[in-house]
Structure 1
């Protein structure tokens, strides 16, 4: 067994064995959980702690982002949903039927992101319908952030397991 050949098979620049893919995956999910409905989490904690003008700014920013998200969903939601379904189906077919590794990697990133976006839209609708007081709004935003973290951790775990199995199968020649 030639160890240098095995090493170069494991450390190649394809998606699951590329450090850049894993960095991008971590940064993506970190950003998704940091920006709660478009509001930075440090702004939420600062507003919760200090109140006053900071709280008013946070409430205004949430209102602006909720209206923006629901406006986009109302005007272009059907077209965006159709395009996303087409994209996910194409990636799934290319990745898992035709065995294109890059399509598998992109699918394992975009499917959980689309689920996270659907949860974001549901939270935005819930916030608009409830028109909550700041204390209730904090609870809703923290619950939304928790769901984003759960989706992100699950996505990273599934992607890591699939990527590890894929790389090991490639090294062993299966």
Structure 2
């Protein structure tokens, strides 16, 4: 004897799954845990990789590890040369495209009230500032002929961390404002 499942029960399972899926992956960014995890990972990565050199390597080199110092110098020279060459060949195009992208996100986000675009803007804008800072630090390293690498990388990291504090505060403030005024469920 085969028991028949009523059609209404068959429809409940996919709808519950779809509701769960849209709750986990929704475009209401500021009320979504995934957005805040991405924000934390972004700033952690931006402050760890100083001009392409992991800061743990810089710290080991400052403590006197000769192999770490040699590796730091090689990585710093390689990444600084690459950043400077990229900025000289494609810098104007990259700046124009970045400005276009950020302007489009800002207009769509705040002009038309699309929260997803606001969230992406609040991730990309500070990231592009950090990229510009990395190019500036790379130019300083190259002009200094790589004499004070660990000091310049520490300064770069400190500035990135300060920017991180400011932009995380701005993002958290705006996210709380959106959740209080608009509500977490739209």
TM range (shorter): 0.7 to 0.9
Count of equivalent residues: 162
Q: Secondary structure at the match of 2:183?
A: helix
Deviations 1:4-45 (A, max 9, x none): xxxxxxx88410000000000000000000011110111111
Matched, 1:32 2:46: yes
Deviation of 1:115 (Å): 1.1
Q: Distance in 2 between matches of 1:56 and 1:37?
A: 16
Which protein, 1 or 2, shows the higher relative CO under an 8 Å CA cutoff with sep ≥ 6? Answer: 1
TM superposition outliers: structure 1 runs of 4+ over 3 Å = none
Give the structure 2 partner of residue 154 of structure 1. Answer: 166
Deviations 1:34-73 (A, max 9, x none): 0111101111111121332321111011000000111111
Give the structure 1 partner of residue 76 of structure 2. Answer: 62
Give the structure 2 partner of residue 143 of structure 1. Answer: 155
Give the structure 1 partner of residue 31 of structure 2. Answer: 17
Q: Distance in 2 between matches of 1:107 and 1:53?
A: 40
Q: Distance in 2 between matches of 1:132 and 1:69?
A: 14
CA RMSD, aligned part only? 1.8
Deviation of 1:118 (Å): 1.2
Q: Distance in 2 between matches of 1:102 and 1:171?
A: 15
Deviations 1:112-138 (A, max 9, x none): 1111111111111111101142xx221
- 1:132 to 1:97, Cα distance in 2 relative to 1, 3 A: same
Give the structure 2 partner of residue 3 of structure 1. Answer: none
Give the structure 2 partner of residue 6 of structure 1. Answer: none
TM value normalised by structure 2: 0.82
Q: Secondary structure at the match of 1:171?
A: coil
Give the structure 2 partner of residue 103 of structure 1. Answer: 117
Larger radius of gyration: 2
Matched, 1:46 2:46: no
Give the unaligned 5+ runs of structure 1: 1-10
